[in-house]
Amino acid sequence: MAWSIAQVARMSKVTSRTLRHYDSIGLLSPAWIGGNGYRYYEKEQVHRLQQILLLRDMGLGLDTVAEILSGKHDQLTVLRNHHRWLLAERERLNRLATTVSKTINELEGGDEVKMEELFDGFDAEQQKRYEAELVDRFGDGVKEHIASSKQRWVGKTKADADRFLQEWQDIVTEGTRLFQAGTAIDAPETQELIDRHYRWICLSWTPNRESYTGLGDLYLDDERFRVQLDVHAEGVAQWTRDAMAHYAQTRL
């Protein structure tokens, strides 16, 4: 059975122009072209289109999609990373929903929302565990940074926390784009992004050369950070760590 380009576009909600573009770059060629010049697709091509759309929905660029489908990247690893990220994102959204619900209740005259509940579900016990991990990894000297970070957040609002977390997501997105484009760690645009990250970190605490390099190591070694960075392209965490190390050595 075969479908015309118009039928495939209608079923997949992808424009005919996009399908023609996929053909022009060698990503998805039709099964055959009729005498009238129309493209026709069979089940094999439709299945490939489904894979393309799934990978695109994960935020991957067309070059990376092509590499995965050609076997240059392990698609299963990419999907597993994305699945872990989706589970973490679901948990985060559940916490956000709970926070918003409590805030609505407070505004309607209910119980006042506790300060720690304003910050995206990072409850006190979880925060204590995370702080203990940092002390184990970097020594007692990190306690000063933790105390400084807490002091800087005194008086901050939920909106401040949302903006802070959104900046992290924006940095990760831009880093993924640069990595997928093959940008070197010492390229000006890479180091400009790392400087943006350093200034973002300074909103909580001010790392020196050693501690900023250590933070990069943490991003690579800790599963929770590595999954966030590698979710759209495996290798971003390593690239970020190396770029941070270069920034620390040359600017701090």
**Residues 48 and 81 grouped into a single domain:** no
Residues 26 and 79 in one domain: no
* 62 part of a folded domain: no
Q: Is the pLDDT of residue 124 over 50?
A: no
pLDDT attached to residue 193: 96
Count of domains for the chain: 2
- Kindly give the interhelix angle for 43-57 and 75-107, rounded to the nearest 10 degrees: 50
Q: How far apart are CA 21 and CA 38, in angstroms?
A: 14
70 within a domain of the structure (yes/no): no
pLDDT tens for each residue of 56-86: 776 667 787 888 887 766 667 767 776 777 7
Which range, of 73-87, 107-121, 177-191, averages the lowest pLDDT?
107-121
- Asked if residue 115 has pLDDT above 50, the reply is no
- The CATH number of residue 13's host domain is 1.10.1660.10
Residues 6+ apart with CB under 8 A from 120: 92, 95, 96, 99, 161, 162, 165
In a domain, 92, yes or no: yes
Is residue 132 one of the residues assigned to a domain?
yes
The helix/strand/coil state of 203 is coil
**One domain for residues 110 and 231:** yes
What is the domain extent for residue 30?
A: 2-57
DSSP E strands in the chain: the ranges are 2-4, 32-33, 39-42
Burial of 37 (0-12, 13-18, 19+ CB in 10 A): exposed
For 210, the 3-state DSSP assignment is helix
CATH code, domain with 110: 1.10.490.50
Is the residue at 165 inside a domain?
yes
pTM score over 0.75: no
Q: Same domain, yes or no, for 21 and 144?
A: no
Percent of the chain with pLDDT over 90: 21
pLDDT at 118 over 50: no
Residue 226, Cβ neighbours under 10 Å: how many? 21
Nearest to 213 by CA among 252, 177, 182: 252
Q: Is 30 left (phi over 0), alpha (psi -120 to 50) or beta?
A: beta
Q: Are residues 32 and 114 in the same domain?
A: no
pLDDT of residue 56: 77
pLDDT greater than 90 at residue 97 = no
Q: Is residue 143 part of a domain?
A: yes
66 falls within a domain: no
Same structural domain for residues 179 and 87? yes
Query: In this predicted model, what pLDDT tens digit does every residue of 201-252 receive, in sequence order?
Result: 888 778 888 888 888 888 887 777 787 788 778 889 899 999 999 999 999 8
